[in-house]
Amino acid sequence: MSRRRVALSVAAGVVVLGGAGAFAIAQAGEQPPGLVHSKAYYSAPAGERGGSFIFTTGVTASSGVKSLKVLAWPADSQLGKKEPTAKEMAQVDSATCRPAADGTERCTYATPVTRADAATFPHGTWHIAILATAKNGTTTLDTKAADFKVG
């Protein structure tokens, strides 16, 4: 093979590999948000102290985090038969997200639990469903990101 053909073959290979690399980088930028260290905490009101529900998770998204929606649902409810969808999750409460030192955003959802609330909550296992949306529009739905017990 002549040097000219070798040079053209090498040049073509560089273009193909360069294009593949650019495609891989573009695809990496479009990855859905990642979720790490999801935890739920529930405490019922007792005495003079009010109760609370707190959910925390870490979210990684190369374009940044646009929102994190959070829904707590009893395992023995209708949602147990048909878990929430991304479309349904778009309508629920949002967590507050702040940048963390490790490159993730730490998202927290907290709400008080009154005696009246606690009296109506079904006892047993509850699941936390979350919908993370990145600024580039990609989403991650986790219908059982964490669990907690009531009762």
Which strands form 34-43's sheet, in the order they lie side by side?
34-43, 51-60, 105-113, 96-99
pLDDT given for residue 29 in this prediction: 54
State which H helix or E strand residue 76 sits in: none
Vertex 143 angle, CA 90 and 147, to 5°: 120
Which token pair is 69? 């929606």
Distance CA(67)–CA(69), nearest Å, equals 6
pLDDT given for residue 80 in this prediction: 74
Q: Is residue 132 within 8 Å of 105, Cβ to Cβ?
A: no
pLDDT given for residue 130 in this prediction: 98
Residue type for position 76 = D
Helix, strand or coil, per DSSP, at residue 123: coil
Per-residue pLDDT tens listing for the chain (151 residues): 444 444 334 434 444 444 444 444 444 557 999 999 999 999 999 999 999 999 999 999 999 999 999 999 999 988 778 899 999 999 999 999 999 977 899 999 999 999 999 999 999 999 999 999 999 999 999 999 999 999 9
pLDDT given for residue 79 in this prediction: 75
Q: What's the pTM value of the predicted model, to 2 decimals? A: 0.78
Q: Is residue 74 within 8 Å of 122, Cβ to Cβ?
A: yes
pLDDT given for residue 24 in this prediction: 43
pLDDT given for residue 136 in this prediction: 96
